[in-house]
Structure 1
Amino acid sequence: MKSLIGTGVALVTPFKADGSVDHEALARIVEFQIDGNIDYLVVLGTTGEPATLTSEEKEAVIKTIVSANTGRLPLVLGVGGNNTASIVNELKSRDFSAFTAILSVSPYYNKPTQEGIYQHFKAIAQVSPVPVILYNVPGRTASNMLPATVLKLAKEFKNIIGIKEAAGDIVQAMKLIQGKPDGFLVISGDDMVTLPMVLAGGSGVISVIAEGFPALFSEMVRLGLQRRVDEAYELHYKIADAIDMIFEQGNPAGIKEVFKSLGLSTNVVRLPLVSADADLANRLDSFTKKLQSQVSEKAI
């Protein structure tokens, strides 16, 4: 799956002031990613607030992104949850013709054992009409998908082609990279450790910060993949402060402040999330405008 090596972004769902989905802003954001040389787009991941979207809104978001993309970039659809049978039914009934793969999160809240996680993804792999990227994010799911479980799935099911690894544990990521079968993608799910993971043999990132600064972050990943270490770290440290800030009061509140600063969308999120406070909003606005200015001066 070479088309999924590099930088993917987890798209937000922008809202209008009244809380309704802003489809015009969503189309602008898709275009902004393409202009910034992003490699692929992830639709209805956690950053897209799917937990607070109705079924009708989700379908409309998918339609808008597919239409705005016009086949230019690969699309990955978030299809996951903690009800295995429900996911299996969706995989059997949904049209995946516009999508390259699905991203499926390890079951949350239920806290299954490693055997339960294995059986969950086995059921998904057996019916999915497109390749599957696993998603391990213990901070949200309350359970860690261990390397042994991931590698067992990777070796037994050819259509499980990668993992978005967001445990925040570089040693765990290195164990995955060391033990993975050829072609299996170990994708960073943590923006701050993306470059170390790439340099250790990872395949790239599914990023939040890249959505706000696509040209810089995607170039950093490309330089990392090319082993141009010093140049890659120069870009990493330009963006690093913003990575901390966008997650300071929850995702996607932070990245939506960046979009507000860029004039792409509002900063509105849906409850139970709330927008960033004034202090964080001001700091993100200042950082964004300063970085824009630096990039513009360099271009001149």
Structure 2
Amino acid sequence: MAKYTQNEAKAWARKHMVGSTNAPTTPFKPDFSLDEEGLAFNVNKYAEIGLYGLMTGGNMAEAWNMTPTEWNRYTQICASANQGRMMLTSVILDPSPFTVIEKAKFLDTLGYDFIEVINPVIQLRSDADLYGYYKYLNDHSPLAIVLYQTPTAGVLLNHGLINRLADLPMVVGIKNGVSNPADSIAMRKMCGDRIVVTEPMESFYLWDRIVHGAQCIFGTLEVIMYGRLRERFFKLQALADAGKFDEALPIYRELDPLRDLLSELFMVPLVTRNQYALAPIKYWLELLGFKMGVCRPPLAPRTDEATQARIREVLLKTGAIVDTDLKAA
């Protein structure tokens, strides 16, 4: 059951949407079936390395390419392997509010904390219809709602509409994935007193935290992708949270090559072509000791040799992995 009432949801989110919540890819076997053992192994490892929150079910997780039965099983495994150690959020990509509520009730039985709901991807485009969609979710979901603002949905919520939605008691946050930090700053000034406005990109967090009042990173891969350097990231985040910019900046610069690699492999295809380039990310994470396997059709199952070599080069050069990690992978 949810850990809060409808009237408590916003305060609960304000207190608990902190730290770093990552959205990892999903392991599939060579025959494209879900690797259940690999998934449980990964979730346990995410918790062991100190990840605060786990975001399941989104585009990065290939949840759009799972059957309903598979999605349920995948979600059950994530919750079971977690054993209450990480805050759990599930992205829901369905356009029907009835499907969203059905999934929210299922997630509630598994101990999930929030749902993150993508903007409706078909049919609904007017402010009135979009407001009605979220109002229905607000009135019927047992779990609080984080808005998922992304061009992938085909429609972006305007600030006036977001300001109205922020008044709904079960709308507690927004992941503002429009790749424009200035938009998040403006949104935080407008409605940040009612919802937690988050930037998914860790590259902006140092400034966003110290100058603009950010309180978490919600939805990328930093804790997972930094490998042996993740303790440097934790130190960076602690310094940012304490407002110690001068001490944090040198650590931030240390991690730049890995951010640049993520941008090159994933963010540029996403921003310029709306393409989720997941195969390179899976190879990267396999080098760090996670079980990732292949991507499902129609995505390329694996990344090419040149990209693999590029990933190995950067991870070894930065110290995110060492030679023994490479041999183990």
- Shared fold (TM-score greater than 0.5)? yes
Letter in 1 for 2:281: I
CA distance in 2, matches of 1:111, 1:285: 44
Choose which of 155, 160, 175 in structure 1 pairs with 2:171: 160
Q: Deviations over 1:58-102 (max 9, x none)?
A: 122112111211111111122232223332344456544411111
1:242 aligns with 2:261: yes
- Deviation, 1:57, is 1.4
1:113 aligns with 2:113: no
Unaligned runs of 5+ in 2: 1-12, 270-275, 324-329
1:281 aligns with 2:308: yes
SS in 1 for 2:121: coil
* Higher mean C-alpha deviation, range 13-22 or range 246-255: 246-255
CA distance in 2, matches of 1:191, 1:282: 25
Unaligned runs of 5+ in 1: none
- Tell me the equivalent position of 1:207: 219
CA distance in 2, matches of 1:36, 1:228: 24
Give the alignment's TM-score, normalised by structure 1: 0.87
* Higher mean C-alpha deviation, range 200-209 or range 217-226: 217-226
Letter in 2 for 1:190: M
* Higher mean C-alpha deviation, range 65-74 or range 230-239: 230-239
Q: Within 5 Å, which residues of 2 pair with 1:23-42?
A: 23-42=36-55
Q: Within 5 Å, which residues of 2 pair with 1:1-300?
A: 1=13, 2-91=15-104, 95-110=108-123, 112-138=125-151, 140-155=152-167, 157-182=168-193, 184-199=195-210, 200-210=212-222, 211-213=224-226, 215=230, 216-237=232-253, 238=255, 239-247=258-266, 248=268, 250-274=276-300, 275-292=302-319
Give the number of aligned pairs: 294
Contact 1:209–1:255 (CA under 8 A) maintained in structure 2 = no
- Deviation, 1:133, is 0.6
**Pairwise CA RMSD:** 2.5
Letter in 2 for 1:180: C
SS in 1 for 2:166: helix
User: Sequence identity of aligned pairs in percent?
Assistant: 22
Contact 1:164–1:205 (CA under 8 A) maintained in structure 2 = no
SS in 2 for 1:205: strand
